[in-house]
Amino acid sequence: MIDLEKAVRRFLQYVVFDTQSDPESKTCPSSPGQLTLARHLARELEEIGLADVSLDENGYVSATLPSNLGRETKTIGFIAHMDTSPDAPGKGVKPALVDYEGGEILLNRDKGIVLSPQDFPDLLEYTGQPLIVTDGTTLLGADNKAGIAAIITAMEHLGENPDLPHGEVKVAFTPDEEIGRGADRFDVAKFNADFAYTVDGGPLGELEYENFNAADGQVLIRGRSVHPGTAKNTMINSLLLAMELNSLLPVGQRPEYTENYEGFIHLYDLRGNVDETKMSYIIRDHSLDLFTRKKDALKEAVNYLNIKYGPGTVQLSLEDSYYNMKEKIEPVIEIIELAKRAMEEVGVTPKVKPIRGGTDGARLSYMGLPCPNLFTGGHNYHGRFEYIPVNSLEKAVATILKIIELNTREK
């Protein structure tokens, strides 16, 4: 019998660690709290009996559950990230376990913060189930500490039950996934798995092997600040140029107007004054052709403004971040079928869908480690209304164990 309550206890322990990543930092990991959690996880992996436990100077944790078979089978990996998003506070997380009976959940009485099915209709699907929520002032951290809890609980169960046959299993916990650096220093050769899964998905049953192609665009606009009383034919207001630049981009390709396979151009940061303004964009699309067109649209807008206002007025730095893993997963599509079968055998309906985002698995797939994405069960990531149903977290543990079991049966 799997002690699934251990996953919940672990999760409640992990979310207290402040591991918010810092996009402005040049270090790896980008924040000290990640290294604190990494040390804790390395000790825990040793305590449950895994072999080859390592923690490198960059905060990457890895370990091995040795095979107990008398024959060879494929080596599976399971990967999760330790950091939480910079989009919402990650310090002082106060998780609460509630028995959800429908309707609104009062997260914070003093501040009047409510988790409501009017805002999040999926909440009603979990009526009658226990949920883990925040106090409404921070994110929860199910992205991705639920994945860590599920992986370690599964490994502990196999270690405590040596009669359960299994092949070699690798696990790894990475820093800075939320700021796009999680795979930067991942040693694929050292990890030495035939394939892996990131346990970093959302609601129950999600299985993802298609993700956005992604690019980051940084725009610098140089204006000319003079006294507004003598500004005629002299002032160049960089803030107004920023507004003009954004107006040249297709309105229908903003994220608030897109879904499913539709990509977007997203202005996520704007700061400046008359003299100088900086803009930050992300560009996303599942189609490589449409991805290229979106990048071209931003380049053309910048070129137009430089023709209009003078060369060098607007500078653009555009860099690809990651690509759609579909190209790397389709040749080994059997690992998707393995995950689907595992879910079905533990009573979960697989929901194969494209990721409207990215995971470490996308980059790892291009580094030679095919790595689709499994659900953890969480909802409303990156915000104070994040929650996770306990039953869904427990199913994540069961799915990991079933994947290992089914892989063991393969010849």
Which residues have a catalytic role annotated? 83, 177
Q: Which of 31, 69, 68, 38 is nearest to 53 (CA)?
A: 38
Q: What residues does 195 pair with on adjacent strands?
A: 76
Q: Which of 123, 148, 192, 155 is nearest to 374 (CA)?
A: 148
And the tokens for 114?
């409510």
Q: Residues 6 or more apart from 13 whose CB is under 8 A from it?
A: none
In the DSSP assignment, the letter for residue 268 is E
And the tokens for 340?
């689907």
* Interior/surface letters 189-209, b for 16+ CB within 10 angstroms, e for the rest: eebebbbbbbbbbbbbbbbbb
And the tokens for 76?
């599976």
| Rounded to 5°, angle at Cα 44 from 42 and 50 | 80
The gap from C-alpha 40 to its chain's centroid, in whole angstroms, comes to 21
The structure tokens 């059997």 sit at 334
And the tokens for 272?
């400046």
8 A C-beta contact, residue 338 and residue 406: yes
| Rounded to 5°, angle at Cα 253 from 251 and 259 | 130
CA distances from 189 to 200, 213, 372 (A): 22, 25, 18
8 A C-beta contact, residue 28 and residue 58: yes
8 A C-beta contact, residue 182 and residue 81: yes
The gap from C-alpha 366 to its chain's centroid, in whole angstroms, comes to 17
In the DSSP assignment, the letter for residue 59 is S
Q: What residues does 279 pair with on adjacent strands?
A: 219, 270
d(CA 145, CA 34): 11
